[in-house]
A and B are shown apart, each in its own frame.
Chain A
Amino acid sequence: MVRQAEKDEFASFVAASQARMVRLALLLTGDRSRAEDLAQDGYAKAYASWDRIRGGDPGAYVRRCIVNANTDWWRRRTWREQPRPLVPDQPGRGDMAGDMAARDMVLRALARLTRRERTVLALRFYLDLTEFQIAHELGIAPGTVKSTVARGLSKLRADAELRAEATS
């Protein structure tokens, strides 16, 4: 009974938070299936530690798992790929074409940033964390967060595709 109650509580937590967690992972990776893998891993680790974290902030725990796992993945790569369009440039047909095109353009622009710039911008502008919270979460200096945010924003503003879209 206790285990079932625990599972139900965990299921509610997943249902309520998965959209944001998968989106965070998507912003970090630019790849939907990898984003779902990262989120799934984060939730599995959260389930393994559920007794310990349920009374605190399990969302922060999963978020940190996602960010760390993405960092680990980058560290462990033995090769470096060049940023490339993550999806075809041509939007598909249908009612969702506009949404898809906007989404793909954002992901392509993020793919042109460094991993740390993407992470910091996602935490700052998607999850609305403060620069101090991001610094604590990533274990880096607040000044580093600030300069990374500034550099990332500057790159996005100078991004040719985004500029072209804004003027079209």
Chain B
Amino acid sequence: MTPLPADRTCPVDLDFAEPHPAQLDLDVIVRRGKTIRRRRRIAGAGAALVACAAAASIVVGVRGASFRWFPPSPPARPAPAIPAKPIDAQVAGNPPVTGKLTLLSSFPPRWTTVAWATRRGDVCWASYRTPMNGATEDYDCPWSGADVPGPGRQGLSIPLVSPFTGSGDLPGQAGSERVPAFGLVSSRATRVTLTFFGKSFSAAVVPVPLGKGQTVGVYLVWLRVPASASGFGSSDFSGATAYDAAGRIVARHGPWS
């Protein structure tokens, strides 16, 4: 633990004695874990349809294109006998505020990454492979509405680095591992540059609708982890800079140490 000045020590002992030691039920945990796995696989299979919808954008090279997933509001009429498939469990549990997902990246080949803002104000991303080939999708809803850059708030979130499930699909892995980093940025930004293990990596910013005509910039930067690194994490970033279309700096963070 980093030594703290006396006035920054905790006045209570959080490592207090516990009269009843924790004893979790491993069988229950494993059963629930298997259920989650099964749901993810089912959801991943259904994600193929979404990938088809995204394919048009990929073919014409349009990043930031959006495609409809759910209607913006529930339909007044009864649901059709055969419901629209797939319903990714994560997306279904966090419905997009506009009913649409925004294409964030179509790299590596056969993988699609989308982002969306939920009706609760969170911002989420999801990656999936088509066809699945045993891979499950990755997803996370790491940002709440309070993390969205805006007046009086930071203009650029701290990048969140995520291990990539489909590393076998990544080209040029020899000698270094590629990992994605996600983050939010002011909607004025068009490009973000991250410094990771001392090297710079850039990506375009994709505007994601927040509803009511507002957007937030979301970025996905593919990083390279040096072969010499024994691990990686957010602490390996030393800076992040966001630029607008004219090349002016919109926001800058770091260096972090």
Binding site for B on A (CB under 8 A): 7, 10-11, 14, 18-19, 21-23, 27, 32, 36, 39-41, 43-50, 52-53, 56-57, 68, 71, 75, 96, 99-100, 102-103, 105-106, 109-110, 121-122, 124-126, 128, 130, 132-133, 135-137, 139-142, 149-150, 153, 156-157, 162
Contacts and interface: CB of A to CB of B under 8 A. Distances in A.
A112 to B, nearest CB: 12
Contact of B29 (A44, A100, A135): A44
B24 A139 contact: no
Contact of B22 (A39, A71, A122, A157): A39
Residues of B in contact with A, size category:
35 or more
B257 A48 contact: no
Contact of B8 (A7, A41, A48, A149): A149
A132 B110 CA distance: 35
A49 B1 CA distance: 29
B17 interface: yes
B163 interface: yes
Which secondary structure characterizes the binding site on chain B?
loop
Nearest to B154: A141
A75 B17 contact: no
Contacts of A18: 22-24
Given A132-B257, A135-B158, 14 more contacts: A23-B18, A40-B25, A44-B32, A45-B36, A48-B36, A50-B33, A75-B144, A106-B12, A122-B14, A126-B14, A126-B15, A132-B235, A136-B235, A156-B10
B10 A153 contact: yes
Contacts of A157: 11
Interface in B1-48: 1-2, 7-8, 10-26, 28-30, 32-37, 40
Nearest to A105: B12
Contacts of B24: 14, 18, 22, 36, 39-40, 43
B173 interface: no
A160 to B, nearest CB: 13
Nearest to A152: B10
B172 to A, nearest CB: 21
B143 interface: yes
A41 B12 CA distance: 28
A48 B14 contact: no
B14 A106 contact: yes
Kindly name the residue among B1, B11, B18 whose own CB sees the greatest number of chain A CB atoms within 10 A: B11
